[in-house]
Structure 1
Amino acid sequence: MHVLNPDTLEPTAKLLHEVVAAGLEHKTSEDVYGTRATPEQLQALLLGDLPDAPSSPEQVWTEITDTVLPYCVNMNSPRFMGFGDTGGDTASLAAGLFAVLAQQNLINQSFCSPSGTFTEIAVLRWLRGLLGYANPPADQVTSVWDAGGVITYGGTGSNTVAMMLAREHAAPGTLAAGVTDPERFGLIVPRGIGHYSVKSAATWIGCGTHVTEVDTRGFRYDLRALAKAVKARRGRTMAVVAYAGDSRTQTVDRLCAVAETVREHDPEVWLHIDACWGLMCALTPRLTHLLDGIELFDSVTVDPHKVLNVPYGVSALLLRDPASLRLVSSYSDLIMQEDFAFGQVTPFIGTKEWTSLRAWAAMRALGRQGLAQVMDERLDRARRFADLVDARPGLIRLNEPDMCAVAFLVLPAGHDPARPDVDRINTLNRALHARLMAEGRWHLHQFTIPDDLGRVRQGAVLAPLRFVSINPRITDEHMRQVLDYVTALSQEVQP
């Protein structure tokens, strides 16, 4: 066995230098993929049997560079414009490497993670403060129950814990007794723009699929329809979910109005905000007004790995009332019953990696001023891309960007605005996205959304392409080039 000790320090350091150099070369490349391959080709290449003979760490690394690395996607490429998950913040990369080497386990504090636990609490407090949740003074933080949230490995995990809290709030003791009346645990969500994790979470925690989808206008709740749904479902709804930056157009709902509408008709229902993208609004004065009212919600999910350019996966669930975490606490003599053992308050997570250090480092390095500057640059970049789309014949933009997302369609030849052929439009744009994915030179995201602004036909379900402006490596020239590429490609795939 090859293990790190004083005798192997020098060759291990040499190997890790090679790994870091290769990783940095990968992340700084302009290419989205080094080599493109089909799933069948990769299956044949990588799904072999476990070898009988041992190999040295150097041999294993050589195999990775030959058979794995060439096919990895590079989301830090300026041609990858579909998400914001670049993982390119320098301070965060350094912190992430250190956290892997330090091997701290935040399940317990005293002997598993003496200092790491407190950096995680610091991150939670910073995020809470940015969003407008109250924090006790630092010297009055006496346990994990005062931290006001938990770090998870993604927005899906954070949303699932939020739904557990909503269930326990609606029917205390269900954690122990089990779900006996699943129709009591309904969800209200906006139609057509929500994230799958909320509905899935309800099934994962045994509540079934009692979901009421409410119509939207401009990618926000239709408040009259929301009021009607809340009244109709009173006593049978465990949570109403709104989005501060939905997962398609990143539109921020009218949070005060949503909270007031729900509370008027059902004061007891749990209010949850998915702000995985909306964390960005808290970081620049230009957008903070969009979060007015977020402090009225019982829980909020945020994703630093979407917004702060930090490596996967760092998400946080933040709670208006920190004590509500006791609703889903765990007890085991394997978890130290000590004040700062996070294992008591992390459903689904036992061994707890020190992922929060990545967010801590990025936020510490930038500070409030640097964070605001980064966010403002993204806003300006998104606006410039929207202007490029608007100025180009044959393209139509579907949203007014609150943050970084611009959804647009390429229109087929002969398109008649008075009589739009929605099927033909969607066929063209799906074919475009399929070619983009197959060629791998550029990446734009695709999904379905309702045409809430009536840009093609009010209420039609459309399949646009989406640009996201988060990557600081994206230049105006890249934006022009991807539109040139998509426009030229559309001539080849016309339906």
Structure 2
Amino acid sequence: MDDRDRALDAAHRRATEFLHSLDERPVWPPVSIEGMLAQLDVPLDDAGMDAEAVVEDLARIADPGLAGIAGGRFYGLVIGGSLPAALAADWLVSSWDQNSGSSALTPATVALERVAGRWMLDMFGLPASASVGFVTGGQVANFTCLATARNAVLARSGWAMAERGIRSAPSVRFVVGEHRHGSIDRAARMLGIGRDEFVIVPADGEGRMSPDGLREALAQGEGPLIVCLQAGEVHTGAFDAFVSLVPIARDRGAWIHIDGAFGLWAAASPSLRHLTEGISGADSWATDAHKTLNVPYDCGMAIVRDPADSIAMFRTGGDYLVYTRLDPWDVTPELSRRARGVPAWAALRSLGRSGVAALVDRLRVNARAMADGLADIAGVEVVNDVVYTQVLFRLSDDEATRSLGSAILSDGTAVVTGAEWHGRAALRCSMSSWATTPEDIERTLAAIRRLVVDS
């Protein structure tokens, strides 16, 4: 027990030191994977090491290879930071060490997750009876929803996949937008659906699916049907026109899935809720609390309108398992897992409804401030209409744009990540962190301004 206390004290001390260093340390890690392996890839000793010494060694060696994701100037990859209450709750989750697949075994953590899920459904304007499965992130949330969707649309066509398998099943039409996120493709691949089987609907210049294109695509075939829509295009932040698209898909009997990894949270803001109007007509929704809600990894949510569809896909067997009315392992692919929804409960409890709305609004205000500042820098073009949290910008040619991106990372003041939009190189700035301040934006703009002049 003394070893445990000393190790935990060391972890707390080192964690606090790291968090206090974020304002001044390079946001992009100065050491590559090769550099880290040079320090860490050593033979495992026969003898062990004192737990406190292990923690101290770990913190010291890893430090130069850590990105400043938890700070206010990390704008890459749509990655949020960690709110104080969520971070502290995550420490408790690790200490409690509850296997949170079963409500009979771990009633406290499952109850916390159920309440967090109920709060989210209410904020998003989704059916209160929907199931909320806590998974690792947006990728697995999309997979979980789409696996449920395929099983359900096959069942509706008379095919019991759990008994008969997939080899001879009716072909499922899988309809996606031109600018869908790659996690949709990956989820489909894990389900045995190849890209050549996709029905791809054209999008407009901001990445929004064309309603006329969807109508035309759906008129060209019959059979089990899944339509994937998007709340928050990852480059531009654009939202599909759900009010138009959902009825078109519903009229054809489609299962409608919405990938809202970071965009679904717009529904929590009265000033941004119009972007998500019509989402309640879908059958499933994927989102990710480590993004906009700012909880630690990992905390995605797979939301399904009818829990019976989730149970039909995921409920397992085993006479040694204890079931209640609706267990977490009934609605996700996992049996054993940590209580990843508890930090989400803590984040929501600490913010309250108005605090969540204020957080989402502030992210959009920060994005608008960054876009306005970038547009004032000679030679910089803001490419997208900044409706939400994403800012896409570039210089006059691709080589210069990519060079600027590399220079920004090397400089270390901030992190933006490279992208390609309509065949041209671009840089993507995603406002996702609660910790970003106006001062962070000014420091970032000053660094970009200097690097553009020097380039």
- What amino acid maps onto 1:489 in structure 2? L
The answer to whether the aligner puts 1:431 opposite 2:403 as a matched pair is yes
Aligned partner of 1:203 among 176, 181, 189: 189
The residue correspondences of 1:258-337 to structure 2 (distance < 5 A) are: 258-264=245-251, 266-267=252-253, 269-328=254-313, 329-337=315-323
Q: Which residue of 1 aligns with 2:23?
A: 29
Residue type of the partner of 2:6?
P
SS at match of 1:189: strand
2:447 maps to what in 1?
A: 485
- CA shift in 2, pair 1:114/1:370, >3 Å: same
Instruction: Confirm whether residue 88 of structure 1 aligns to residue 82 of structure 2.
Output: yes
Is the aligned partner of 1:77 residue 2:52?
A: no
Equivalent runs, 1:38-437 vs 2, <5 Å: 38-111=32-105, 113-135=106-128, 148-172=131-155, 173-181=160-168, 184-191=171-178, 193-209=179-195, 210-217=197-204, 218-235=206-223, 238-264=225-251, 266-267=252-253, 269-328=254-313, 329-347=315-333, 349-411=334-396, 425-437=397-409
Q: CA contact under 8 A between 2:27 and 2:74: conserved in structure 1?
A: no
TM-superposed deviation, 1:84: 4.6
Alignment partners' CA distance in 2, 1:475 and 1:87:
13
Paired AA for residue 388 in structure 1: G
Amino acid at match of 1:474: T
Contact 1:81 1:442 in 2 (8 A): yes
What is the SS of the residue equivalent to 1:50? Answer: coil
**Cα separation, 2, equivalents of 1:318 and 1:98:** 25
Decide whether aligned partners of structure 1 residues 472 and 30 sit closer, same or farther in structure 2, where only a CA change above 3 A counts: farther
TM-aligned CA deviation for residue 262 of structure 1: 1.9
Q: Distance in 2 between matches of 1:433 and 1:344?
A: 44
* Amino acid in the other structure paired with 2:238: T
Q: Is the 8 A contact 1:106 1:351 kept in 2?
A: yes
| Aligned alpha-carbon RMSD (Å) | 2.2
How far apart are residue 80 of structure 1 and its match?
A: 1.5
Q: CA 1:34/1:228 → structure 2, altered by over 3 Å: closer, same or farther?
A: closer
- Shift in CA distance, 388/15, structure 1 to aligned 2, threshold 3 Å: closer
Deviation at 1:72, TM superposition (A): 0.7
- Offset at residue 384 of structure 1 (A): 1.7
Letter of the aligned partner of 2:433 in structure 1? N
Residue 338 of structure 1: how far off its partner (Å): 2.6
Report the more deviating stretch, 29-38 or 42-51.
Answer: 29-38
Question: Is the CA contact (8 Å cut-off) linking 1:301 and 1:316 kept in structure 2?
Answer: yes
Give secondary structure in 1 for the equivalent of 2:30: coil
Percent of aligned pairs with the same amino acid: 25
**Offset from partner CA, 1:1-25 (integer Å, 9 cap, x none):** xxxx3x5465345334324433433
* Structure with larger RCO (C-alpha < 8 A, sep 6+): 2
List aligned pairs for 1:6-17, cutoff 5 A: 7-8=2-3, 10-17=5-12
Counterpart CA distance in 1 for 2:386 and 2:169 is 38
Alignment partner of 1:463: what SS?
A: strand
Matches of 2:442 and 2:8, distance apart in 1: 43
Q: Number of aligned pairs?
A: 448
Residues 334 and 472 of structure 1: CA distance in aligned 2, closer, same or farther (over 3 Å): same
Give the CA deviation at 1:438: 4.1
Distance 1:213 1:165, change over 3 A: same
Give the aligned residue type for 1:131.
F
Gaps of 5+ in 1: 137-146, 412-424, 451-460
- Tell me the secondary structure at the aligned position of residue 45 of structure 2: coil
* SS of corresponding position for 2:226: strand
Q: Aligned with 2:290: secondary structure?
A: helix
Deviation at 1:303, TM superposition (A): 1.0
Runs of 4+ aligned structure 1 residues displaced above 6 Å come to none
TM-score, normalised via structure 1 length: 0.85
